[in-house]
Chain A
């Protein structure tokens, strides 16, 4: 879970004055540490220790036999990584496939959610009667507990008693057999649509707030100059929304790439190969075969990938900002 606020403040202590040697400590210097102490303790327990443990686990032959007492699991070095990255083996092949599916899933879901969110934000930018109703309506998929929304979709996508096939075949009268939506190749399309349904309201929310900070007279001035709406959007709206978009796209990327909930609830315990998203893949690799060492290695690989992509993204964005 990522906070949009957070990314703005990635270098907060840049201006912090350094205490010079020999200078006496200010009274109450310990106060910030005392304030921070509970957070530090909890951070250690929930993040730092598990992460170190996870990295350590990835070097162990941590199979079913060693779970209750993993101190005895044999150290096997990079073996888990070798297997995960050996694309000729079943494990490596599965991971590579799942990675490819997740990349395609992420591009489609983030791109389309952004597009829909932007369209809705622009369409609701100017006041009209009933605007508040649509604004609220569009936020409901985001407000719903995620599993409730996904279960509703799961019901709609049933082959024989689902709403989608009923609409396509009974109402519209398409010829042929009703297809399965949750198994086979259609599963990919299904999970993409459900993920977009859940995510686009968030893009809408952020972009709508961003648009409020664009002064209206900029549009009026450009309209006097004869600019058409599409050109105004390109030349005014888009650049003004740059700070929001920067955060929004990164957050949506991380959420979507790591999405476990949507496939897990939509497909139940066993996902179809076409909907084998990476978090779900790692989960199954770990808990179905009880091979935690291998699962941990996959998690670390996923983490490295996300750090590299996020790092490149932030660097590229900052460079563009400096040049601008």
Chain B
């Protein structure tokens, strides 16, 4: 089938405009991170007066960025792994067994995904404060506390995505394993999990990405001790000087691991995320 002139114009215009829309902020971020301070304080320029990597050196001292980085890595990784493990068992049960209470459990998990985070923020904050008052267990300002709040979005998501993924795996596979003498748990580990690997990867990336970018809980539940990048990055603006070049350099640094990870595993991610919706 040949393209008409109309389709060609449509295609070229769409791609051009969207490329500009996409690239300009990324370009500004990257190029501004390579500018000396006086360049970002005056009128904007599309190219730096001198290219410098100084912002990439200074940014570690202006705010304790390395600490925030460590906090973000720990909190996001633990939240991801924890929700993945819990979700694997729960999704296996939902996908392979019919039992009393399944509907209630599934509906509850599904509906919590629709709720605004702010709804859980206030009560969780109060519960944490009370646990501290009554049991002396400090949760606000600790990584543990933050991990628990991150589960509010990563756990339901993981359960649903994995259940969808497991449903897509033919039952004949695990039934064959059972005929061969595998118990249900062996069937899960030997058959289901290896087959569902793209789904597991997709769920893990998605959980990690959302945790890494989380701002709402991080802004309330963190103090100096457990501050994540999401909040830490904003502290550059509270300095007497607004070091835009350092902010942009830091933005590049916090983005690199996640963007590379995403682009490498993009195919898995696309397949995993859309599996249920497209089927």
List residues of A whose CB falls within 8 A of some B CB. Answer: 1-13, 15-17, 19, 28-29, 31-33, 35-36, 38-40, 42-43, 45-51, 53-54, 57, 62, 67-71, 116, 119-120, 122-124, 126, 134, 136-141, 143-149, 151-153, 155-156, 158, 160-163, 165-166, 170, 197, 201, 205-206, 208-210, 212-213, 219-220, 223, 228-229, 243-244, 247-248, 254, 257-258, 260-261, 264-265, 268, 279, 282-283, 286-287, 292, 295-296, 299-300, 302-303, 306-307, 310
- Do B118 and A123 touch across chains, with their CB atoms under 8 A apart? no
Question: With A38-B90, A145-B212 given, is the CB distance from A43 to B11 under 8 Å?
Answer: no
- Do B21 and A16 touch across chains, with their CB atoms under 8 A apart? no
- Do B213 and A54 touch across chains, with their CB atoms under 8 A apart? no
In the A-B complex, the 8 residue pairs with the closest CB atoms: A5-B276, A5-B164, A16-B98, A39-B90, A6-B160, A166-B44, A209-B274, A143-B262
- The contact of B25 among A120, A153, A165, A244, by CB within 8 Å, is A153
A138 to nearest B CB, angstroms?
6
Chain B residues 1 to 54 lying within 8 A of chain A, measured CB to CB, are 1, 3-4, 6-7, 10-11, 14-15, 18-19, 21-26, 28-29, 32, 40-46
- Do B216 and A264 touch across chains, with their CB atoms under 8 A apart? yes
Interface centre among B103, B118, B156, B254 (most CB of A within 10 A): B118
- A146: chain B residues at CB < 8 Å are 213, 215
- The contact of A287 among B120, B165, B220, B277, by CB within 8 Å, is B220
User: How many Å lie between the Cα of A113 and that of B15 in the bound state?
Assistant: 15
B75 to nearest A CB, angstroms?
13
- The contact of A161 among B26, B44, B126, B266, by CB within 8 Å, is B44
A-B contact pairs, 30 of them (CB 8 A): A1-B153, A1-B157, A3-B157, A6-B164, A12-B102, A42-B151, A45-B148, A47-B120, A47-B156, A51-B115, A116-B18, A122-B10, A123-B11, A143-B259, A144-B255, A151-B234, A151-B247, A151-B251, A152-B26, A160-B43, A166-B44, A197-B25, A201-B22, A206-B274, A223-B1, A229-B6, A243-B278, A260-B117, A299-B118, A303-B119
- Do B160 and A10 touch across chains, with their CB atoms under 8 A apart? no
Flag whether B270 is at the interface (Cβ < 8 A): yes
User: How many Å lie between the Cα of A149 and that of B213 in the bound state?
Assistant: 10
- Do B105 and A4 touch across chains, with their CB atoms under 8 A apart? no
- Do A197 and B21 touch across chains, with their CB atoms under 8 A apart? yes
Question: With A2-B113, A229-B7, A303-B115 given, is the CB distance from A29 to B213 under 8 Å?
Answer: no
List residues of B whose CB falls within 8 A of some A CB. Answer: 1, 3-4, 6-7, 10-11, 14-15, 18-19, 21-26, 28-29, 32, 40-46, 85-87, 89-90, 92-94, 97-103, 105-124, 126-127, 129-130, 133, 148-149, 151-157, 159-161, 163-165, 167, 184, 209-210, 212-213, 215-216, 219-220, 229-230, 233-234, 237, 244, 247-248, 251-252, 254-255, 258-259, 262-263, 266, 270-271, 273-279
- Do B123 and A51 touch across chains, with their CB atoms under 8 A apart? yes
- B110: chain A residues at CB < 8 Å are 6-7, 9-10
User: How many Å lie between the Cα of A158 and that of B244 in the bound state?
Assistant: 11
A139 to nearest B CB, angstroms?
7
Q: Across the A-B interface, how many residue pairs have beta carbons closer than 8 Å?
A: 355
User: How many Å lie between the Cα of A208 and that of B124 in the bound state?
Assistant: 38
- The contact of B94 among A12, A123, A261, by CB within 8 Å, is A12
- A303: chain B residues at CB < 8 Å are 115-116, 119
- Do B109 and A296 touch across chains, with their CB atoms under 8 A apart? no
User: How many Å lie between the Cα of A197 and that of B245 in the bound state?
Assistant: 22
B242 to nearest A CB, angstroms?
9
User: How many Å lie between the Cα of A141 and that of B275 in the bound state?
Assistant: 22
List 17 extra interface pairs beyond A1-B156, A2-B114, A243-B277, CB under 8 A.
A6-B110, A32-B93, A42-B155, A47-B108, A47-B120, A54-B119, A54-B120, A124-B15, A144-B259, A148-B29, A155-B28, A161-B41, A206-B274, A219-B1, A264-B219, A296-B122, A299-B122
Residue of B nearest to A119 (CB): B14
- Do B115 and A35 touch across chains, with their CB atoms under 8 A apart? no
User: How many Å lie between the Cα of A292 and that of B7 in the bound state?
Assistant: 55
Interface centre among B24, B86, B126 (most CB of A within 10 A): B126
- A68: chain B residues at CB < 8 Å are 129-130, 133
- The contact of B184 among A1, A6, A28, A51, by CB within 8 Å, is A28
- Do A155 and B248 touch across chains, with their CB atoms under 8 A apart? yes
User: How many Å lie between the Cα of A136 and that of B265 in the bound state?
Assistant: 11
- A243: chain B residues at CB < 8 Å are 277-278
Residue of A nearest to B203 (CB): A3
User: How many Å lie between the Cα of A62 and that of B7 in the bound state?
Assistant: 60
- The contact of A4 among B108, B263, B277, by CB within 8 Å, is B277
- The contact of A51 among B85, B97, B120, by CB within 8 Å, is B120
